[in-house]
C-alpha cells in the first residue's frame, strides 16, 4: 500500500488490476484538510476510497486515488469539491492583486464597515490579513446612481493605470467602480486597456449589486484567488486527460472547471456544500425533511440546518488575519469552528484546557496514526477511551495505542489527572464547542433542535453524535450510509447551477412589470449560455425567480419568490407580518432580482442493504464491556443498545449508553435516546 494511502476500500467488488470505465459513472472527490475522499456512483452501486491529502499540491492525492481505484479518466465525469480558494485566503497565499476604484474611494476595502470584533477594545490591533499593503488606484471617471456618465474615462486615466500597474508587479486586478451594476461600460473599457497576462475581475460581472464595500470585496476575493484556482485546475486537468471535470460551488451547484477561475469567489465553501447536498438527498429518501447537519472532519466542523431544503445566504464570511472578510455571494448557510479529529489539545497561559483550532492535519496526523505526530488530539482521546477499536478503523488502518498514550502523558500530568480523565476532558471541551455551534444555527435563530434529526457525517462525526444530541435535548440522530465520505457522495448527485442577481433599488409600485420581465429575461439568457457551456441542454434548465424587498429606508431585506404575476406591496406586507409579527404603512422597495438556474441532477439510487445481524459481534482487546460491530452486523430490529462501536470502511460510530441503534433499508444507522 502506498505510504500516503489510508484505505483500500472498494465496495461492493474488489480492486481490479486494470483500468475500468463504465457508462454513466460519476466520481465525486472531496479534498479535505486530512483526507481526500472518493465516491464512485454507478447506478445503485457505490465504491468508496480514501487517501491522505497532499496540501502542498492537492491534485497529487486525487491522481493517486484514481490510480488506486483502477479508473481510466478518459470520458469519466468528475464532480470535485476543492479547498484551493479557501486555503489561499486562510493562508494569505493568493495572487498579488491591485484594486481599481473611483478617485477618492480607493480605501473602501481597508475602511470596511467599521465593525469591531471586540466592542469595548478602544485600541484594537490592526491586522488586515491579505489586504495588508493592498495596491490601489483611482480613476477620475464617474457615473451617477442611474448609470448616466458624469465624468468620462479618458485615455490619460488608462495610460496612468497601465504605467502604475507595471510598477506594482501584480498578477491580478480587481475593478470596482460606483454604480457598475447600472452601467458597466467604464469597467469593460478598463479591462480592454490592460495587458492580457493579468487576471482581471470586474464588479459588474462578479456581483452586480449595490453596497460598494461588499461588491468590492467579492471582486477582490475573486481576483485574489482566481489565478491560484486557474493554476490548480490546469494541473489537475493535465493529469486527467479526457475527463469531464466539474467543480462544486459554495451555493450547492456544479460548474464546468473551465469556468471555475472566473468565478473563483464561488468556491470558498466548495467541499461543505457537497455534504449538505448529500444529507438533503438522503433525508428525502427516508422521509426526513428537517435535519440539523454536523460535518466533522480532521481539521474543522461545519454545522447547518436543512428545513425541507438547503438554506443559502449572501452574508457569509471567511477568516483572514485577526478578522473576517465578507463573502456576499450565494453560499450554503454554514457555521464553522476549528474543531476536528486532528485538533490539538493544550493548556493555555492560564492553565485552561483548550482544543483546536491548531490541527495535526494530514501530516503527521494524530499521534495514533504512527506517522510521527506527538501532540494529543481528539482522535487520540477517542482511542484511549475505547470509542475507536484498538485494532483500528474499519478500513484496516492500524492505530498505535502506545503513541497516543505518550502524546497524552504530558497533558495528563499538567492537569493532574490520569490518561483516561485527561482524554475525557478533551472530548468534553471539543463537544461543548461543537454543541455551541449547533445552538448558533438553531436556538439563537428561534428554532427548537428537538424538532429536527441530528445528521452526523465526516470521518469523525459518528464518534460524537450521541453526546451532541444529548447536549441539545434531541432524542433522534442519524449516521448516513457512507457518512465518512458524504461530501463526495453529495457531489455525485448535484446538478449544474448558476446563481445570478442584479440590484434595482426602486419603489415597487413605480416599476413596470414588463421592465422586470426584461431584466429576468437578460439574467435567464446569461444563465442559459453558462449552463449550455457546461453541457446542459436549454430545455433541461429550470429557472427560479426571487426578489429582495424591504421597506424604504430599511437596510435589511426579505427574499420572496417572484411568481408569474410578479410581486406587489401587499405580498411584502404579508411576508413581513409573518416574519416579524407586524407590517408598516410605508412604501416597499425592490432591492435586487435573483435567479437560480439549475440543470438536471443525477438521481441517487442506493441499493438496499442487507443486515447480517446473526453474525457474532466482536469485542476486541478493550474488554467485554464494549461490543464492536461492523455496520452490516447491526440489526434492523430490535435495536442494539449502547455502549457500542460500529465500524465501517470510512468511519466509526460510538453509540453511547442510553442510546440504541438499528440499520434502515439503505444502510443508514438510526439512533434513538431512551427517555
Phi and psi of 36, rounded to 5°?
-110, 125
DSSP 421: H
Instruction: Please enumerate in sequence order all residues whose Cβ is within 8 A of that of 57, keeping only pairs 6 or more positions apart, or say none.
Output: 235
19 pLDDT more than 50: no
How far is residue 170 from each of residues 85, 140, 195, 197, 477, measured CA to CA in Å? Answer: 18, 22, 11, 10, 50
Predicted local distance difference test score (pLDDT) of residue 408: 94
Is the separation of the CB atoms in 181 and 208 below 8 Å? yes
Measured from the Cβ of residue 322, the count of other Cβ atoms closer than 10 Å reads 12
For 542-598, write each residue's pLDDT tens digit: 999 999 999 998 988 999 999 888 999 999 999 999 988 999 999 999 999 999 999
pLDDT band at 7 (very low <50, low <70, confident <90, very high): very low
Cα separation of the two ends of the chain: 46
pLDDT band at 392 (very low <50, low <70, confident <90, very high): low
For 480-538, write each residue's pLDDT tens digit: 988 888 899 999 999 999 999 999 999 999 999 899 999 999 999 999 999 998 889 99
Predicted local distance difference test score (pLDDT) of residue 12: 30
pLDDT band at 321 (very low <50, low <70, confident <90, very high): low
Predicted local distance difference test score (pLDDT) of residue 14: 30
Q: Residue written as cell 478617485? A: 103
pLDDT band at 398 (very low <50, low <70, confident <90, very high): confident
pTM summary value: 0.84
Residue 364, strand partner residues: none
Domain 90-229 carries which CATH code?
3.40.50
pLDDT band at 10 (very low <50, low <70, confident <90, very high): very low
Lowest mean pLDDT among 9-18, 56-65, 538-547, 646-655: 9-18
385 pLDDT more than 80: yes
Compare 615 and 579 and report the one with higher pLDDT.
579
108 pLDDT more than 80: yes
Is the separation of the CB atoms in 134 and 320 below 8 Å? no
Mean per-residue pLDDT for 64-93? Answer: 89
Mean pLDDT of the residues in the chain:
87
8 pLDDT more than 70: no
For the chain, give every domain's residue range: 90-229, 497-598
674 pLDDT more than 60: yes
Predicted local distance difference test score (pLDDT) of residue 339: 82
Lowest mean pLDDT among 96-100, 110-114, 424-428, 659-663: 110-114
DSSP element (H, E) containing 109? helix 108-111
Mean per-residue pLDDT for 627-651? Answer: 86
Amino acid at each position: 500500500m502506498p505510504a500516503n494511502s489510508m484505505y483500500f476500500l472498494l465496495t461492493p467488488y474488489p480492486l481490479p488490476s486494470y483500468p475500468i470505465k463504465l457508462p454513466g459513472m460519476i466520481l465525486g472527490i472531496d479534498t479535505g484538510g486530512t483526507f481526500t475522499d472518493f465516491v464512485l456512483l454507478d447506478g445503485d452501486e457505490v465504491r468508496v476510497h480514501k487517501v491522505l491529502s497532499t496540501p502542498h499540491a492537492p491534485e497529487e492525492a486525487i491522481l493517486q486515488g484514481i490510480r488506486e481505484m483502477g479508473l481510466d479518466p478518459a470520458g469519466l465525469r468528475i464532480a470535485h469539491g476543492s479547498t484551493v480558494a479557501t486555503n489561499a485566503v486562510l493562508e494569505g497565499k493568493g495572487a498579488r492583486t491591485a484594486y481599481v476604484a473611483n478617485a477618492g474611494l480607493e480605501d473602501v476595502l481597508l475602511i470596511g464597515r467599521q465593525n469591531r470584533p471586540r466592542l469595548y477594545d478602544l485600541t484594537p490591533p490592526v491586522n488586515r490579513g491579505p489586504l495588508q499593503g493592498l495596491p490601489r488606484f483611482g480613476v477620475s471617471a464617474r457615473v451617477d446612481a442611474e448609470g448616466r456618465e458624469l465624468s468620462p474615462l479618458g485615455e490619460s486615466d488608462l495610460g496612468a493605470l497601465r504605467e502604475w500597474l507595471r510598477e506594482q508587479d501584480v498578477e491580478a486586478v480587481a475593478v470596482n467602480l460606483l454604480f457598475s451594476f447600472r452601467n458597466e461600460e467604464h469597467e469593460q473599457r478598463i479591462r480592454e486597456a490592460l495587458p492580457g497576462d493579468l487576471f482581471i475581475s470586474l464588479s459588474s460581472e462578479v456581483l452586480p449589486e449595490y453596497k460598494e464595500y461588499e461588491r468590492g470585496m467579492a471582486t477582490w476575493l475573486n481576483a485574489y484567488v482566481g489565478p491560484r484556482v486557474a493554476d490548480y485546475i490546469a494541473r489537475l486537468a493535465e493529469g486527467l486527460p479526457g475527463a469531464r471535470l466539474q467543480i462544486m460551488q459554495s451555493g450547492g451547484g456544479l460548474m464546468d472547471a473551465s469556468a471555475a477561475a472566473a468565478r473563483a469567489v464561488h468556491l470558498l465553501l466548495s467541499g461543505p456544500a457537497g455534504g449538505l447536498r448529500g444529507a438533503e438527498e438522503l433525508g428525502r429518501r427516508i422521509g426526513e425533511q428537517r435535519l440539523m447537519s454536523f460535518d466533522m472532519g480532521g481539521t474543522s466542523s461545519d454545522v447547518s440546518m436543512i428545513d425541507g431544503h438547503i438554506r443559502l445566504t449572501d452574508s457569509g464570511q471567511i477568516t483572514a488575519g485577526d478578522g473576517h472578510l465578507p463573502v456576499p455571494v450565494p453560499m450554503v448557510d454554514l457555521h464553522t469552528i476549528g474543531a476536528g479529529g486532528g485538533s490539538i489539545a493544550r493548556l493555555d497561559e492560564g492553565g485552561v484546557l483548550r482544543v483546536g483550532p491548531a490541527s495535526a492535519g494530514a501530516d503527521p496526523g494524530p499521534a495514533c496514526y504512527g506517522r510521527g505526530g506527538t501532540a494529543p488530539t481528539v482522535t487520540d482521546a477517542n482511542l484511549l477511551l475505547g470509542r475507536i477499536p484498538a485494532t483500528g478503523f474499519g478500513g484496516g488502518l492500524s492505530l498505535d495505542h502506545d503513541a497516543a498514550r505518550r502524546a497524552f502523558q504530558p497533558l495528563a500530568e499538567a492537569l493532574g489527572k490520569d490518561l483516561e480523565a485527561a482524554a475525557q476532558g478533551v472530548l468534553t471541551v471539543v463537544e461543548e464547542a461543537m454543541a455551541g455551534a449547533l445552538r448558533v444555527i438553531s436556538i439563537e435563530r428561534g428554532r427548537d433542535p428537538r424538532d429536527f434529526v441530528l445528521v452526523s457525517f465526516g470521518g469523525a462525526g459518528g464518534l460524537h453524535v450521541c453526546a451532541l444530541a444529548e447536549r441539545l435535548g434531541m432524542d433522534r440522530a442519524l449516521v448516513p450510509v457512507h457518512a465518512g465520505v458524504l461530501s463526495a457522495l453529495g457531489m455525485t448527485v448535484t446538478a449544474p447551477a448558476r446563481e445570478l442577481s442584479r440590484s434595482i433599488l426602486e419603489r415597487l409600485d413605480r416599476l413596470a412589470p414588463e421592465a422586470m420581465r426584461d431584466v429576468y429575461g437578460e439574467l435567464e439568457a446569461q444563465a442559459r449560455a453558462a449552463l449550455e457551456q457546461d453541457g446542459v441542454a436549454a430545455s433541461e434548465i429550470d429557472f427560479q425567480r426571487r426578489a429582495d424587498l424591504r421597506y424604504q429606508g430599511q437596510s435589511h431585506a426579505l427574499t420572496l419568490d417572484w411568481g408569474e404575476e410578479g410581486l406587489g406591496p401587499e405580498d411584502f406586507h404579508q411576508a413581513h407580518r409573518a416574519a416579524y409579527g407586524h407590517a408598516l404603512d410605508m412604501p416597499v422597495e425592490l432591492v435586487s432580482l435573483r435567479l437560480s438556474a439549475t440543470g438536471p441532477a443525477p438521481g441517487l439510487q442506493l441499493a438496499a442493504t442487507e443486515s447480517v445481524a446473526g453474525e457474532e459481534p466482536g469485542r476486541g482487546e478493550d474488554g467485554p464491556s464494549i461490543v464492536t460491530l461492523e455496520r452490516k452486523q447491526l440489526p434492523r430490529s430490535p435495536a442494539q443498545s449502547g455502549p457500542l462501536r460500529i465500524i465501517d470502511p470510512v468511519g466509526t460510530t460510538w453509540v453511547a449508553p442510553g442510546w440504541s441503534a438499528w440499520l434502515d433499508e439503505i444502510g443508514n444507522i438510526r439512533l434513538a435516546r431512551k427517555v
